[in-house]
Structures are given as structure tokens and as C-alpha cells.
Amino acid sequence: MECLIQSTISALGFLEGDVYNKEPDCYVCARDLIRYLRNDTPDGLARRLCGERNIVQNDLIPILKSSTDEPQLFDVALRLLINLTQPASALFEGQPPKDRASWQIYAQLVRNLQNSKQAFADVQLFAVLGQRLKAFVELEWENRQEEERLVVERILTLLRYIFAIPNTEQDRQRTATDVNSQDQLIWALLDAKVDEILLFIASRQSEREFHIAVLEIFALILKEHTPSDLALAGEERSAEQKREAEQQLATAVAHEQQKAIAAARRLPARHSNFAGSYTIKGLKAVNATKDVVVGRPINDVDKVAWLEDRKAKRRTPKNRRPFDGSDRTHQSALNVRLRLKELCLRLLETAYNRLMRTAKGLISANNRRDLSMRNSDSHYLFLMRFAMEFRRLANTPLNQVSATVGVEAFHHVQTQLDSYLESARAEKTEAKRHGAKARYAIAAYKESLMTLQWMGQSGSAEDRTKADEITRHIFYVTEYRDLSASVLRKYQPAYLSKAFLRDLVLATHVYLRLLEQSCKAGNIRIVQRKRRRAKPKRKQQK
């Protein structure tokens, strides 16, 4: 089977400079590879061979760029590319690997995806995909064919898979402000003006079937950035901000210097046959008449930690180790942040409300039935939190996020949070996945409270009136009053991260601040039922 797959890959064609020379059987071989992947072995032999040969970079991307006038070849190459770029967890049906061999296969698939990620940072590739999208959305509804609709759906799926590929090993070695592979993908997409087509699709009610895919693409584009970095990009920093940045830099430098000094003072721990034995005068052993004997030199006798190092350390079970579910963010170069800021502003102005309203209904209807949409709800909550925080920091009009401001939005976030926590307690094997989703829900709840506070302090008269109505609701409904206490009681470090706990504490702080302000303003009334005095019984007349 391996030889057959290798020969099929070789029969696709070859790249000579910038020109891809297709073999006569290129179309047939691409279809054969799709069949091999469909009937793949449990260990993913065909998928691993295609990844090792890196046919994504060497064959499929050049075929897409050069076969714009061959719709059949373009379609089959697109289908094969989608199959090879889907997440590595798809081989295990969304479940984590169960044994060592499965983990090795999973790691190899992830490495293959990372090796092909750099090839997607091609403006010409995004331009070809954008032309297909633009040609479809410009057609009238009655003139659209089912084949063209499937191609558009596949292109959006491919974009979603591309931006979901993890960062490469080289990205982790770059500095914080250097351009990584994700930034290069974003830059290529913006240069090809694909973002304009995505915004057009998101703003049209007639294109609602593609709204979930577009929402996930925007969420994946913005996932490695913080709203403050984008909203404040291009603005001159104040003296306080400069002082804070200098203080952080000085703290980091001092920390590194202390680590270097400690490493220089650390004596090499050689075997006792070479280092000899030592006695510590004044520190008695189990036998009170003798001193403690150690087999290696001690730097600081006052610290008794070296006594514990000799003992076998107790290992924490895997299901009880603290869960690190925080998102890894970085500050991109200024030109990337400026272009992303412009993208966020255009998203809020033209498409955000329409996109969030339609996506919410589609996710609620299909989330339990479609495996490909299992992360759509977390992407919805992430984009909700990101957009509301960006709007608050950029000080844009509140009506740009009206779809996620109100009593209905609070109810949706609260019910989702309760659902994730209950699922984490019930499904032990999927607890961390539900815990990560709960983190997005609590972050969206916190930002909703922050927006509510902004409406009461900096909003217009209409915004303050609306804020009073919402605060009155969340203060009188029991579920919101007891949310912080109930979630704190359910907190488990095994599947809820420290970032979740931090957002929960901040949300509780903002809630109590809003409650204090409402009490001082006299907007909260507590009705106490008066105690009825029992009337004295009349004496019965004899």
C-alpha cells in the first residue's frame, strides 16, 4: 500500500521554478489520493505519507494557482487540500489519543501541518480563492449552481483549517514583536482583499448559510492578539504607559540576571565517588550523637530543601494536575496591528450585528448534530468578548455591538457557562475541553459587565437608560446574583485554568461595583414583608 501511495503522489506532477508541470494523469491521481484517505488505515498511513512528502506545498497549492481554467482539477485539488489540512484530531474522531503509539502519530500529523503552514502565506493563492468567492456572491440567487455553492463552502472550510494550524517551532523562537507564520497568513489574506469579500458575506442575510464559517475565520485571525494591542495601535503612549513599559523591562532584565547568577553559583552535582562525603556540623542525624552525612556539597545549609530532594517525589496524577488553558498571544509588528485594527473597525461598522445574530441561531440549532461545529460556540463567545472589548477601548458607538448587549446576551452567556460546567463534571474524559469553553464564557460575561459599566459612566442618556434596565434585571434575577458563588464552589484546577479564575474574580468585582453604584443612587429597592401581629383571641362568652 505504501508503494502505491508513493507512486500516486509522484504521478501528480513536479514544480520547476515557479511553473508546475502537471502529469497527464494528475486529475486521476488526485482522485485516487482522496480515495486512499477515505479508506485510510487506523494509524493514518496515507495521511502521514502525504504529509512527509509535503504535497500541500509541492503539488496542491501550485495546482490551485495554475488550474483556474480547469474547474474539475481545481475542485478535486481543493477537496484533497481540505482533507490534508484538517486538524490532527480528526483522525481520532475528535477524541484525545489513548496510548503512546497514538500520541506519536498525532504529533507527526501536527508536525506535517506545521511544515506546510508557511506555504499558505501566498498572496496569489488567496487571490485565486478570493476570485472564486467574489464570482459566486455577485451572482443572483436564481443563477447559482449547486456545484458553485459547494466550491465556496469548501474554500471557507479551507480558510478555517489554514488559520487553525498551530504555530511552528521557529515561531516559538522568534521575539515577541517579530512576524510569525500566523501574521504572514493574515498579511497575505489582507493583501489579496479576501477580507472585503468575507465582510460582504457576513453583512448579507441571504448568505446566512456561510456565516458560521466566516465567524470562525475572523475568530481564528484575531485569536493571538489582544483587543488593547489593536485598539491602541498607532496612538502615542502617555508618560505613564512609557514608565510602566520601562518598569516591566527592568523587572524582566533583573529576573534574568538573578537566574544567571544562580546558575553560575550552582555547583555541579557529580557522583559521590568523585565528590566525596561531607558532614554538617551542628545538624544531628537520626542518631543524636552523630552529625548528618551528605554525599554532595551544599550551597546554603540554612535551607533545608536539599533534605527533601533526596526523597522520591510524589507525582500528581494526570487527572489532578493544574490545567493550563490560557491562550497564547503575542504583540505583532505595528503595520500588522494597524491593518488588523482597520479590519476590526470595518467588521463592527458593517457586519458584526448581522453576523452574530444569525450565527447564534445556527449554532444553537446545529451544534449537537454536526461534528464540524463542535467549537463554533467557543468561537462565538471569543469574538463576542473581543469585539466588545475592542469597541470599549476604541470608544466607538455602542450600536455597533447591539446584538450582544442586553438581557438576552446575559442569559445566553449564563446558560452556556452552566452547560459547560455541568458537562465538565459529567464527562470526565472531555472535562478539559469543556473547561476551555467555560473560560470563553466567563470572559464574555466579564466583558458584558465591563460594557455595562461603560454605558453607565461614559454612555449617552439613552445608553444609561438601557444600562439601568439591564442592571435592574441582573440584580433581581437569582441566577446572576448567585453565579459567582456557585461557580467558585464548582472550581476544579484539573480542568479550569487560572485564567478562568482570574476572569471570574474580575467579573465578580465589576458586578459588586455596579451593585454598589446602584445602591448609592437609590435604584435598588428591597421589599421586606412586614411581620403580622397576631390578634388576641376573644374570650368565648359562657
Rounded to an integer, what distance in angstroms lies between the CA atom of residue 107 and that of residue 519? 55
- Taking residues 90-115, report their average pLDDT: 87
Phi/psi for 19 (5° steps) reads -110, 130
In a domain, 204, yes or no: yes
In a domain, 420, yes or no: yes
pLDDT in tens, 241-294: 778 878 888 888 888 888 888 777 665 555 545 556 777 777 777 788 888 877
Q: What Cα–Cα distance (Å) separates residue 209 from each residue in 51, 117, 153, 358, 373?
A: 32, 28, 9, 9, 13
Reduced to 3 states, what is the DSSP secondary structure of residue 40?
A: coil
Could you tell me the residue range of the domain that residue 439 belongs to? Answer: 405-521
352: how many CB neighbours lie within 10 A of its CB? 27
Chain centre to alpha carbon of residue 155? 21
More confident residue, 277 or 3: 3
The single-letter code of the amino acid at 172 is R
- Taking residues 390-399, report their average pLDDT: 92
Q: What Cα–Cα distance (Å) separates residue 338 from each residue in 69, 126, 197, 341, 398?
A: 36, 20, 20, 5, 22
Residue 478 has pLDDT above 90, yes or no: no
Task: Please list, in sequence order, all residues whose beta carbon lies within 8 angstroms of the beta carbon of residue 294, skipping any fewer than 6 positions away.
Answer: 277, 278, 279, 280, 306
Q: What Cα–Cα distance (Å) separates residue 361 from each residue in 2, 373, 381, 444, 445?
A: 45, 13, 13, 18, 19
pLDDT in tens, 343-390: 999 999 999 999 999 998 888 776 555 556 778 899 999 999 999 999
pLDDT in tens, 152-197: 999 999 999 999 998 887 877 776 667 888 999 999 999 999 999 9
Asked which of 234, 256, 285 is the last residue of a domain, the reply is 234
Asked which of 188, 215, 234 is the last residue of a domain, the reply is 234
Asked which of 177, 205, 234 is the last residue of a domain, the reply is 234
- Name the residue among 373, 509, 492 with its Cα closest to residue 449: 509
In a domain, 398, yes or no: no
Element (H, E) at 485: helix 483-490
DSSP string, 410-463: HHHHHHHHHHHHHHHHH-STTHHHHHHHHHHHHHHHHHHHHHHHHHHHHS-HHH
Q: Max alpha carbon distance in the chain (Å)?
A: 121
Sign of CA dihedral 114, 149, 213, 179: positive
Q: What rounded mean pLDDT belongs to the chain?
A: 85
- Taking residues 308-328, report their average pLDDT: 71
- Taking residues 468-483, report their average pLDDT: 88
DSSP bridge partners of 22: 13
In a domain, 46, yes or no: yes
pTM: 0.85
Task: Please list, in sequence order, all residues whose beta carbon lies within 8 angstroms of the beta carbon of residue 157, skipping any fewer than 6 positions away.
Answer: 82, 213
With beta carbons less than 8 A apart as the criterion, state whether 331 and 175 touch. no
Residue found by looking up cell 466567563 in the block: 442
251 half-sphere exposure, CB direction, 13 A CA radius: 6
Note the pLDDT of residue 542: 47
Work out the pLDDT band at 303, boundaries 50, 70, 90: low
- Taking residues 518-533, report their average pLDDT: 70
Q: What is the CATH number of the domain that holds 177?
A: 1.25.10
Reduced to 3 states, what is the DSSP secondary structure of residue 302?
A: coil
Task: Please list, in sequence order, all residues whose beta carbon lies within 8 angstroms of the beta carbon of residue 460, skipping any fewer than 6 positions away.
Answer: none
pLDDT in tens, 76-90: 999 999 999 998 888
Alpha helices by DSSP H, 67-191: 71-85, 100-117, 123-137, 146-163, 169-173, 181-191
Sign of CA dihedral 85, 88, 90, 94: negative
- Taking residues 308-325, report their average pLDDT: 71
DSSP bridge partners of 13: 22
Note the pLDDT of residue 141: 82
Residue 218 has pLDDT above 50, yes or no: yes
Note the pLDDT of residue 273: 56
In a domain, 359, yes or no: no
Domain count along the chain:
2
Note the pLDDT of residue 529: 64
With beta carbons less than 8 A apart as the criterion, state whether 213 and 375 touch. no
In a domain, 125, yes or no: yes
Residue 297 has pLDDT above 70, yes or no: no
